[in-house]
């Protein structure tokens, strides 16, 4: 079943097309990766899907319903959640209370139900022993876990991960990958942007490649990795550094 449909979405800034007629679908239960050099349009694409930006043209549909141009709170209420590269917990609140905030958003739950669900989400992401800790006291890896739990608290149909592994060391990256696999095994549909290409290739069922705002490739990781256009784009950017 198709969950998300992005059709010929376009966004320009000052005459420069950041995203140009990009189209793709995400099926229920899939884990789809989005990759591309810096400036390729990945973050703009996420901003368009989540309502932080409105497209100049094209359409975005969730479960067959048009959500193009909706404000972020409506998109979230419809079932799309997002994590950010720079984690943004409430630093003065405990890990448990950070998750409670997400659970209370737009839902008629009682306090006991909220507390129980918050504890379950912390356990899911591996923070069960750190519920009373203030978010400001957590390590970067644990803040990433908390970011995931907060996003999952909104009960999303689709979760967008924006460079979840940024800033992590190799061991933490492996931990994050295991966590993402666990989420997928729990039935969470995932669309993720990641600069750590080997990790993205290992996790994704399908890869979408952007360059200069355009989709230049889409397919299985092994197919995309062998695509001459993709190789040229990445080697060209590496040579220019």
State the DSSP H helix or E strand holding residue 99, giving kind and residue range, or none if neither: helix 95-104
pLDDT at 86: 86
Q: What is the mean pLDDT of residues 116-124?
A: 93
Question: Length of the chain in residues, anyone?
Answer: 241
Q: Angle at CA 119, nearest 5°, toward 116 and 122?
A: 150
Asked which of 99, 128, 155 is the last residue of a domain, the reply is: 155
Asked which of 128, 155, 182 is the last residue of a domain, the reply is: 155
In this structure, the answer to whether residues 124 and 229 fall within a common structural domain is no
In this structure, the answer to whether residues 186 and 223 fall within a common structural domain is yes
In this structure, the answer to whether residues 67 and 166 fall within a common structural domain is yes
pLDDT at 85: 86
Least confident of 5-19, 100-114, 120-134, 164-178: 100-114
Q: How crowded is residue 163: how many other Cβ atoms within 10 Å of its Cβ? A: 18
Going from the C-alpha of 221 to that of each of 6, 32, 73, the distances in angstroms are 20, 10, 33
- Provide the angle, in degrees to the nearest 10, between the axes of the packed helices 140-152 and 111-124: 130
In this structure, the answer to whether residues 61 and 180 fall within a common structural domain is yes
Q: How crowded is residue 14: how many other Cβ atoms within 10 Å of its Cβ? A: 5
Q: How crowded is residue 35: how many other Cβ atoms within 10 Å of its Cβ? A: 26
**Residue 24 in domain:** yes
pLDDT at 116: 85
Domain CATH for 177: 3.40.50.300
pLDDT at 102: 79
Q: Domains in the chain: how many in total?
A: 2
pLDDT at 107: 55
Mean pLDDT in the chain? 92
Structure tokens at 9: 């979405």
Domain that holds residue 149: 91-155
Least confident of 46-50, 113-117, 154-158, 233-237: 233-237
Q: What is the mean pLDDT of residues 176-182?
A: 95
Beta bridge pairs of residue 134: 94
pLDDT at 239: 41
**Residue 85 in domain:** no
In this structure, the answer to whether residues 161 and 183 fall within a common structural domain is yes
Cα–Cα distance, 121 to 110 (Å, whole number)? 17
Structure tokens at 226: 């062998």
pLDDT at 133 over 80: yes
Asked which of 105, 122, 155 is the last residue of a domain, the reply is: 155
User: Do 201 and 230 meet the contact criterion of CB atoms below 8 Å apart?
Assistant: no
User: Do 74 and 67 meet the contact criterion of CB atoms below 8 Å apart?
Assistant: yes
Least confident of 27-31, 63-67, 109-113, 154-158: 109-113
**Residue 163 in domain:** yes
Q: What is the mean pLDDT of residues 166-195?
A: 94
In this structure, the answer to whether residues 197 and 226 fall within a common structural domain is yes
């Amino acid at each position: 079943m198709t969950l998300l449909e992005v059709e010929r979405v376009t966004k320009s800034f000052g005459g420069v097309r950041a995203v140009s007629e990009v189209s793709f679908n995400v099926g229920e239960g899939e884990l789809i990766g989005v990759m591309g050099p810096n400036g390729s349009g990945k973050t703009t694409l996420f901003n368009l899907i989540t309502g932080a930006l409105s497209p100049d043209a094209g359409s975005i549909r969730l479960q067959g319903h048009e959500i193009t141009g909706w404000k972020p709170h409506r998109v979230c209420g419809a079932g799309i959640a997002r994590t950010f590269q720079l984690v943004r917990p409430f630093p003065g609140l405990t890990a448990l209370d950070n998750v409670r905030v997400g659970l209370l958003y737009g839902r008629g739950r009682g306090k006991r139900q909220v507390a129980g669900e918050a504890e379950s989400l912390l356990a899911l992401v591996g923070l069960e022993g750190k519920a009373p800790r203030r978010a400001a006291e957590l390590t970067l890896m644990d803040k990433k876990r908390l970011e995931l739990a907060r996003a999952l608290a909104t009960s999303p149909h689709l979760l967008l991960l924006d460079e979840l592994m940024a800033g992590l060391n190799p061991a933490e990256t492996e931990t994050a990958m295991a966590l993402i696999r666990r989420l997928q095994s729990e039935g969470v549909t995932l669309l993720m942007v990641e600069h750590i290409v080997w990790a993205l290739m290992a996790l994704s069922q399908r890869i979408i490649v952007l360059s200069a705002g355009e989709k230049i490739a889409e397919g299985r990781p092994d197919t995309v990795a062998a695509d001459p256009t993709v190789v040229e784009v990445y080697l060209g950017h590496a040579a220019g550094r």
